[in-house]
Amino acid sequence: MTTIEQARKTAEGLDHLSGFGNEHSSEAVPGALPIGRNSPQRAPLGLYAEQLSGTAFTEPRAHNRRSWLYRIRPSAAHPRFVRTGNGALSGAPFTDSAPDPNRLRWGPLPDPPAGTDFLDGLWTLGGNGDAAQRTGMAVHLYAANSPMTDRVFSDADGELLIVPERGGLLLRTEFGLLRADPGHVALIPRGVRFRVELLDESVRGYVCENYGRPFVLPDLGPIGANGLANARDFLAPVAAYEDGGAGGDADRPVEVVNKFCGNLWRAEYDHSPLDVVAWHGNHLPYVYDLHRFNVLGSISYDHPDPSIFTVLTSPSDTPGLAGVDFVVFAPRWLVGEDTFRPPYFHRNVMSEYMGLIEGAYDAKAEGFVPGGGSLHNMMSAHGPDRETFDRASTAELKPQKVDNGLAFMFETRWPVTATAQAMAAGHLQSGYDDVWQGLERHFRS
Ligand SMILES: O=C(O)Cc1cc(O)ccc1O
Ligand SMILES: [Fe+2]
């Protein structure tokens, strides 16, 4: 069997635990989870007990995130980390180019050389804030064609929201296995070790690295108790562990790569750190199928603000102001009467990075393609391109199903500074401004 066939077989029919932010528990071996306490004098089955804290010990109960891991070796048993190359990955603060008020748009990342795994295939587009201050976010793209073999990654800087666009991923995490196909998203919490295997020859997608408060479901206010992303559709893994070196083979060392304050550090372990036999807690990885999103919208007139499409939000200290929102433009009906139905022209104090998972987006006739992305920074004027404006201004307003695409947005409170590599990239499109050329003067006084 090829490694892809093996990964596909493993990814078939994985068990899950459903719910968002829940206190879940799971054991891969019966009896591995202590009952009634976290730190018994001797943990069951000779395991080591270890707490992983995603929030300060003292944060309010409603925000508090931590998990208890029962593992073959404690995480503390590791050699010294040394700096390794960052590749095309970088972290906030982003200072290698000036924040740019122009509308920017990129085509997809070029295919990487053979043998590129998920970690080597990460390419930073830009971001804001400061990883060391635990504020802001980064936008990364990835393109890979090889599984992570004998190596594991963890990000101390933030949680990783992975948005596959091409090809499926099998994520082997400390908490167990998850699969993420295009149209699904996966979240790896801060500090959780994981390895990415591929379910297809070539994979590509987007990553939002969130340095700030962990993503939560948005409040629903007058919407009521249900709707948007429903909590029960978020799936955490069940416990699964590796015993020994890489792939369970004691003689194969494992490279553990840790992203810390923007840089990559590596250490060679003599065992896999994915050796958690049981766990309980709420600092957990999960997957979510974007097709499950319950899209709400206007059933009378006008185009609602896209905040109504928020899947996950990372709150700031200011109520209603997100460090970053993850927003999805999923298939939906448009029925607004006397309404310009596509996204309106606007200037926004928030900065908008958009990507396309499949198909097309209703504000752009051409040029915004799957795997590509656009950046409309703080106060930059944007909206429908000329072709879309002309079409939608004269369209017959019968009920219309928009079901030819899946787009998303990382909307953030601070301007996104693109990296120098993103500003110099061959796939940065020139002439993006032209999509708004030819919007004629129609004024009659
Ligand atoms: O710019 C965009 O395409 C995203 C967007 C969509 C929408 O429906 C309303 C506002 C907005 O910023
Ligand atoms: Fe916008």
CA-closest residue to ligand 1 atom 7: 343
**Predicted confidence (pLDDT) per residue in 102-140, tens digit:** 999 999 999 999 999 999 999 999 999 999 999 999 999
Q: Is residue 314 very low, low, confident or very high in pLDDT (cuts 50, 70, 90)?
A: very high
Residues in the 5 Å CB sphere of ion ligand 2: 352
Q: Which atom of ligand 1 is nearest to the CA of 382?
A: 1
Whole-number Å distance, alpha carbon 417 to ligand 2 midpoint, is: 17
Structural domain includes residue 327:
yes
Q: Which residue is associated with the tokens 């929201």? A: 161
Whole-number Å distance, alpha carbon 417 to ligand 1 midpoint, is: 20
Same domain, residue pair 337 and 257: no
Round to whole Å and give the CA distance between 57 and 79: 27
**Predicted confidence (pLDDT) per residue in 154-175, tens digit:** 999 999 999 999 999 999 999 9
**Predicted confidence (pLDDT) per residue in 186-217, tens digit:** 999 999 999 999 999 999 999 999 999 999 99
Looking at the CA of 340, name the nearest ligand. Answer: 1
Whole-number Å distance, alpha carbon 213 to ligand 1 midpoint, is: 24
Same domain, residue pair 283 and 297: no
Q: Residue 322 sits in a domain of what CATH number?
A: 2.60.120.10
Residue positions annotated with a catalytic role: 303
Structural domain includes residue 168:
yes
Q: Which atom of ligand 1 is nearest to the CA of 309?
A: 8
Beta bridge partners of 280: 25, 68
Do you find a cis peptide bond into 93, omega within 30 degrees of 0?
yes
Total tally of structural domains belonging to the chain: 2
Last residue of a domain, one of 241, 260, 289: 289
**Predicted confidence (pLDDT) per residue in 28-78, tens digit:** 999 999 999 999 999 999 999 999 999 999 999 999 999 999 999 999 999
Same domain, residue pair 22 and 168: yes
Average pLDDT on 356-374 reads 92
What does pTM read for this prediction? 0.98
Q: What is the pLDDT of residue 1?
A: 85
Q: Is residue 362 very low, low, confident or very high in pLDDT (cuts 50, 70, 90)?
A: confident
Last residue of a domain, one of 289, 319, 340: 289
Binding residue ranges: 346, 352, 361, 382
Same domain, residue pair 283 and 338: no
193: tokens are 């070790």
Same domain, residue pair 255 and 185: yes
Binding residue ranges for homogentisate: 346, 361, 382
Same domain, residue pair 285 and 298: no
Same domain, residue pair 103 and 181: yes
Same domain, residue pair 285 and 295: no
Whole-number Å distance, alpha carbon 122 to ligand 1 midpoint, is: 27
Compute the chain's Rg from CA coordinates: 22
Residues with Cβ < 8 Å from 256, sequence gap 6 or more?
78, 151, 152, 153, 154, 193, 266, 267, 268, 269, 273
Nearest to 196 by CA among 179, 175, 214: 179
Q: What is the pLDDT of residue 247?
A: 66
Pairing of strands 159-166, 169-173: unpaired
Ligand 1 mutation target, pool 104, 345, 352, 406, most atoms within 8 A of CB = 352
What ipTM did this prediction achieve? Answer: 0.98
Q: Which domain holds residue 281?
A: 3-35+43-289
Ligand 1 mutation target, pool 307, 328, 346, 432, most atoms within 8 A of CB = 346
Last residue of a domain, one of 289, 316, 351: 289
Whole-number Å distance, alpha carbon 405 to ligand 1 midpoint, is: 15
Same domain, residue pair 341 and 403: yes
Q: What is the pLDDT of residue 251?
A: 72
- Please state, rounded to an integer, the average pLDDT across all residues of the chain: 96
Average pLDDT on 259-268 reads 97
Round to whole Å and give the CA distance between 254 and 172: 14
Q: Which residue is associated with the tokens 């896209």? A: 306
Nearest to 12 by CA among 238, 179, 247, 141: 179
Q: Which atom of ligand 1 is nearest to the CA of 305?
A: 9
Please give all residues whose beta carbon lies within 6 A of any atom in ligand 1, as ranges.
303, 306, 343, 346, 348, 352, 363, 376, 382, 409
Given its phi and psi angles, is residue 247 left (phi above 0), alpha (psi -120 to 50 degrees) or beta?
Answer: left
Nearest to 97 by CA among 424, 433, 426: 424
Same domain, residue pair 282 and 400: no
